[in-house]
Structure 1
Amino acid sequence: MSDSASSSRTAIVIGGGIAGLATSALLAEEGWSVRLLEARSDLGGRAGSWDQDGFRFDTGPSWYLMPEVFDHFFRLLGTSADAELDLVRLDPAYRVYSDPATGRQPLDVRTGRELATELFESVEPGAGARLADYLDSAEDAYDLAVSRFLYDTYETTAGLRDLAILRRIPTLAPLLTRSLASHVDRKFTDPRLRQILEYPAVFLGGSPYGVPSLYHLMSHLDLDDGVLYPRGGFVEVIKAIQRLAAARGVDIVTGAEVVEIVTGAPDRGSRARARATGVRTLDGTLHEADLVVSTADLHHTETSLLPTELQTYPQSWWDTKTPSPGALLLLLGVDGELPQLAHHTLLFADDWRTNFEDIFGDRPRIPDPASLYICRPSATDADVAPTGSENLFVLVPVPADPGSGHGGIDGDGDPRTEAAADRVIEQISQWCGIPDLKDRIVVRRTISPADFATDLHSWRGNSLGLAHTLGQSAMFRPRNTSRRVDALAYAGTSALPGIGLPMCLISAELVVKRLRGDRTPGPLPAPARV
C-alpha cells in the first residue's frame, strides 16, 4: 500500500463517522484528492446528534479521554485541540451510586493523584497507598501503549522485539494473562473501589472478567489525567474535523450508501487477488478511485461489500469473535433541575459478576438491575437544554442482540425495549433519590441494538466494535489493509488499534503510515505546537 507519490491520486472514504472524517482530512493533507461517502443524511456515525424541543443530545461518545491523542491529531493538521474546541475540565470527574439496599453512600470521584488516593483511603484504610502504586503501574502501561503499541501497524514484529519491550516482559506477562477483575480484586476490598477500577473495561467493549489487566492503564486517564468535556457536546469534535477536511478540499457527500467495493486486476507482482478501483453506491453511481478506505463497520465491509473470495475476514472468522456489548440508550429531556446527578454518573449493581454474565454469558439477557451510565451535559453546558431543564443521556450495556427490538420516540419503540427503558428510569429514580423523575420527562427517545444494526450496519447490533479481549487486541486485531485486495484500507472501531474516539483518530493515522511505508511503532512526527 506504500505510495509516497500521492499528488493527484484519488481516494474514496466510506463512512462519515470520526474515523472517516479523520482519514479524509489526513489523506487530503498528504495531497490526495478525497471524496467521502456517507450513507445517512448526517455525519458523525456513532458520535451523532439529535435535537428535539430545544434539547440537543449526543447519541454516542461522551467521555473525552486521552487528550494528547486528540491534540496530536490536530497538530498533524497544523492546529490544536485548544484552537478547535472549548474544553472544560469536570469536577467531580464522575459520581458513583450503589444499590440503596447495600447502605453504601455515593462517591464523588475527583481527578488528581492526591484527591483520588484520599478518596480511596477514606473508604478503605490502606487503599490510598495501594492506589498510588496501582496508578504508577497504570501510567507506565499507558505510556508504553502510546509509544509502542497503539500507533504500530504491525506490518513487522520489529516493534515487539524492541529492547524496551523485551526488558518489560516479566512485568507485562502477568498483565496479559490475568483478568482486570482479578488484578483489582487482589488489591482492594470495598466493592465501590473495585468497581471504579474495573468499569473502564466497558469502555473497551468488554467485561473486567474478560479483558487483560494490562488495561488497568485506563485508570490513569480518569484518576490521574482527568476528564474533559468539549462545550457544545461531542458533535463539536465531529464539526471540527469536518471543517478541517473541507478546508483541505475533501468532497463530503451524504445520502450516498456504498453497496459494493469495485475491484479489478491487481498490479503485477502483487500477492493480492484484486485491486480496489472504486465503489458503487445504491443509486448505481460508480465512483472510481486509486484508493478505497472503508471506515464502515468492518463486518459489513467484509461480508457485504466484497465477494467471498476477496474477504480477509469472512463470516467464519467473525463466528469465533467477541463483539462489544450492545447498548440500550435513553435520551431524556427532563423538566426542572437534577442536582442528584453529576455531569457523569455511574450506577453499579451489587452483583457485579452476574451483571456481566447477563451481557456476555451463554444465556444473555438485559440486566435488572443494571449497571449503567448517565451523562448530564446540562450540568456543564447551558446550550444543550432549555433554561430550567436537564438533558440526560443514559447508556445501559446489554447483550449484542438485535432481537430485542427497535427503540422509538415517546415510548413508541418495540415493547421489550420500552419496558427495559421504563425499568431503567425507575432504577435511576430510586437509586439517585429522584422520586418524580418519570413524571418530569418531557422528551424521550430510546435506541437499541436493533437500531445500531439497521442504522450503522453494526455487527450483531454491538455498540462499540470488537471487544478488547487478549485475542482481539494489538497484533491480534484486524489490520488496516486488506490482505486480498490491493489499495483497500480500513479504519474504525474494529480495526487497529481499537474502540473509542481517540483510537479512531489513531486508526486514521495508521492508514497514512501504511501509505508512507512508515513501520515505526510511534505516532507520526507533527509540526511544532501552534
Structure 2
Amino acid sequence: MTRTVVIGGGIAGLATAALLADEGHEVTLVEARDELGGRAGSWESEGFRFDTGPSWYLMPEVFEHFFALLGTSAAAELDLVPLNPAYRVYGEPVAGAAADTLDIVSGRDAATALFEAREPGAGARLAAYLDSAGDAYDLAVTRFLYDTYETTAGLRDPALLRRLPQLLPLLTRKLSTLVEREFQDPLLRQVLGYPAVFLGSSPFDVPSLYHLMSHLDLDEGVLYPRGGFTTVIAAIERLARERGVTIRTGSGVARIRTSGRQATGVTLVDGTIIDADVVVSAADLHHTETALLPPSLRERSERWWHKRTPSPGALLLMLGVEGELPQLAHHTLLFSDDWHENFSDIFGSDTRIPEPASLYICRPSATDDTVAPAGSENLFVLVPIPADPGLGHGGVGGTGDALIERAADEVIAQISAWCGIPDLAERVRVRRTVAPADFEADLHAWRGNSLGLAHTLGQSAMFRPRNASTKVDGLYYAGTSVLPGIGLPMCLISAELVVKRLRGDRTPGPLPVPATAGA
C-alpha cells in the first residue's frame, strides 16, 4: 500500500486525498489551521454564518464527474438550488440619477432578449458569441483542462490542429477586444468582461478564449448549494474519511523530507515525522518551494516568481445586517464606469485600492434561511484590490488596520448609494474584514493574492506550473497555483491530474467513470 501525505485541507487537498484513498493509497492529510476548507472556509457570529471564499457554483459537470469517480453524485451529496436571477448588475450612477440596473436570467432566450432590448442587433450577436463560447468550453474540457501536459500528444491531435485557424485568434486577442468589437452598450460589455476576474485577471489581460465563461452563466445557469459552500467541503471530507483518510488539523508542515531526489514524507512544526512514499502539496506553490524545500530542490527561482502575475488581492467584508435587503439579489455586481482605471489600480505599476471599486456582493440569505437570523441578511462583499500584503490586515468589528477599515467604510457607503439602501451602515450588526495580509498569514498566499496565479496566456494550460516536481521524485502538486487553474472546479480537476500522473495516464480528457458510479 502506497503511503501518501497530502499537505493542505482546502478543496484541492481533500479531493486529492479522497481520490488517492479510493485508488488504494494509505493517506494522511495535514492541515495547519484548526478547520478545513482553506479559502472555502466559514465564519460565524451572532447567528450569522458566512462562507469566507468561493460563492459561485459553476461548471456543475466538473463536480458531477468528481463525485462520479467516487461512486456517488452531486444530487446525493448536495442540495443544489438554481438561482433566478443568476445575478443582478448595477452600473455607476450619474449624479442625481438612479443606477442603471440589469437582472441577468440564465438561458439563451432570456439572455438574448435582454441584450436585444438594450442594444438593437445585440441579441443575434450574443447568440453567435455564446455559440462560440460553448464550443470553446467543450474544447477546454475535452482537450485542455484534464491534460497533464507530460507530452504534447494531445496538442498534436489532428482534430485539434484542424481547429487552429479558429483557435489562434482566441489565444492572441484579449477578451476586451472581442467584447468591444461585438457590443457597444457599456453595461453589456461589462457583463461579458467581468468573468475575467473569476480567472484572477482583467478583461484587458486574459485571452479571448476565456469568453467561454459566458457559456456558464448565460447559457447553463448558476446554482447554489443550500447550506453554503462549506457543504461542498463537508461532502468531500466525508467521502475522504469513508475511504480511510486520516485527517490531522492544527498540523502545520515545517518541511518536506527527502532522500536524494526522492520525497520521503514531512516533518510537522511540532517535530512529528510522517513517513510517506508520495507527498502531495495542495498548499501555495511559492510557499511549498521556498519554505518547505531546500534551495537545491526548488524548481523555480525568486526571479521566476518576480516575472509571474498573481491574481488580485481581495478586501472581503462579512456583514450581518438587520432587516431585509430586496435591492440585492443572491449575487450582485457593481461596475464602475472607468474600467481601464479600475483594473490599472489593481494590476498597474502604481497600484492602489480602486475608488469607486467594481465589486461583488453575495446575499445568500436571499436563498438560504440557515445563514442569518430571521428578519436579517448575510452579506459577503469581495472587492478586487492589489495583491499587496502591505495594505494591511482586516479584523472583527472595525479592528483591522486603518487603511482597510476606511476602505470598507467606503465600500459600505458605495453599496448604500448605488443600490438605494440609505441606512445600510446603521443596520450593520456584525462586521469582519479580511485583507491581503490575512491571505498571506493564514494561507501562505504568494503576495497576499486571493485566488492563485492569474490566467494570463503565459500562465494558462501548458504554460502553467505542472502537477509534479521535476526536482523531487514522488512530489506532486494540486490547487490554484498549478494546472489547470483557479476556482473550485479547477481544484477538483487538479486533484484528478495527480491521480493521472500516478497512473501514468497521459490522455487529455477526464478519467473514465466507474460503471457503478451513482448506482
Confirm or deny a common fold (TM above 0.5).
Answer: yes
Structure 1: segments with no counterpart, 5+ residues: 1-7, 266-273
Contact 2:397-2:432 at 8 Å conserved across structures: yes
The equivalent of 2:381 in structure 1 is 394
State the one-letter code of the partner of 1:106.
T
CA distance in 2, matches of 1:164, 1:71: 27
1:377 pairs with 2:364:
yes
Q: CA deviation at 1:315?
A: 1.6
List aligned pairs for 1:23-172, cutoff 5 A. 23-101=16-94, 105-172=100-167
1:12 pairs with 2:12: no
| 1:441 equivalenced with 2:428 (yes/no) | yes
Aligned to 2:505: 518
Shift of 1:314: 2.4
Structure 2 unaligned blocks of 5 or more: none
Check whether the contact 1:18–1:44 (CA below 8 A) recurs between aligned residues.
yes
CA contact (8 A) 2:86 2:222 kept: yes
Which one-letter code corresponds to 1:110 in the other structure? V
Partner-residue secondary structure (3-state), 1:384: coil
The aligned runs of 1:318-337 (5 Å cut-off) are 318-337=305-324
Q: Secondary structure at the match of 1:521?
A: coil
Deviation at 1:117, TM superposition (A): 0.2
Contact 1:302 1:314 in 2 (8 A): no
Aligned residues of 1:279 and 1:286 also touching (Cα < 8 A): yes
Q: Percent identity?
A: 73
Q: Give deviations 1:460-513, integer Å, cap 9, x for gaps.
A: 000000000000000000000000000000000010000000000000000000
Secondary structure at the aligned position of 1:330 is classed as strand
Q: Could you tell me how far 1:193 is from its partner in structure 2?
A: 0.3
2:409 to 416, 419, 422: 422
Is 1:280 aligned to 2:239, yes or no? Answer: no
Tell me how far apart the structure 2 counterparts of residues 163 and 129 of structure 1 sit (CA, whole Å): 32
1:249-328 maps to which residues of 2 (within 5 A)?
Answer: 249-265=244-260, 274-328=261-315
Q: Which amino acid aligns with 1:127?
A: A
Are 1:363 and 2:356 counterparts?
no
SS in 2 for 1:396: strand
Superposed CA deviations along residues 8-46 of structure 1, whole A, max 9, x for unmatched, are 110000000000000000000000000000000000000
**Which residues in structure 2 correspond to 1:209-228 (within 5 Å)?**
209-228=204-223
Cα distance in 2 between the residues matched to 1:295 and 1:527: 25
Cα deviation code 1:178-214 (max 9, x no counterpart): 0000110000001100000000000000010000000
* Equivalent AA in structure 2 for residue 262 of structure 1: R
Q: Tell me which of 200, 203, 206 is aligned to 2:201.
A: 206
**CA distances 1:112-136 after superposition (whole Å, capped 9, x unpaired):** 0000000000111100000000000
Q: How far apart are the structure 1 equivalents of 2:295 and 2:302?
A: 9
Q: Distance in 1 between matches of 2:223 and 2:386?
A: 29
- Give, as a single letter, the amino acid of the residue that structure 1 aligns with 2:141: V
Instruction: Give the secondary-structure state (helix, strand or coil) at the position aligned to 2:476.
Output: strand
Secondary structure of 1:186's partner? helix
* Larger displacement relative to structure 2 (110-119 or 162-171): 162-171
Question: How many angstroms apart in 2 are the aligned matches of 1:163 and 1:86?
Answer: 41
Contact in 2 for aligned 1:325/1:360 (Cα 8 Å): yes
Q: Is the 8 A contact 2:92 2:100 kept in 1?
A: no
Q: How far, CA to CA, are the matches of 1:397 and 1:59 in structure 2?
A: 15
Instruction: Check the 8 A contact 1:54/1:386 in 2, yes or no.
Output: yes
2:500 is aligned with what amino acid?
A: K
Q: How many residues align?
A: 515
**Deviation of residue 527 (structure 1)?**
2.2
Name 1:268's counterpart in structure 2: none
- 1:166 positional shift: 0.3
What RMSD in Å do the two structures reach over aligned CA positions? Answer: 0.7
Q: Is the 8 A contact 2:331 2:363 kept in 1?
A: yes
Match of 1:346 in 2: 333
1:408 is matched with which residue? 395
Residue pair 2:342, 2:354 contacting (<8 A) in 1 also: yes
Equivalent residues of 2:44, 2:50 under 8 A apart: yes
Note the C-alpha offset of 1:105.
2.1
Amino acid at match of 1:32: H
Q: Tell me the secondary structure at the aligned position of residue 485 of structure 1.
A: coil
State the AA in 1 paired with 2:13: G
- Provide TM-score, normalisation by structure 2: 0.99
Normalising to structure 1: TM-score of the pair?
0.97
2:289 alignment partner AA: E
Equivalent position amino acid for 2:8 in 1:
G
Contact 2:107 2:219 in 1 (8 A): yes
State the shift of 1:317 in Å: 1.2
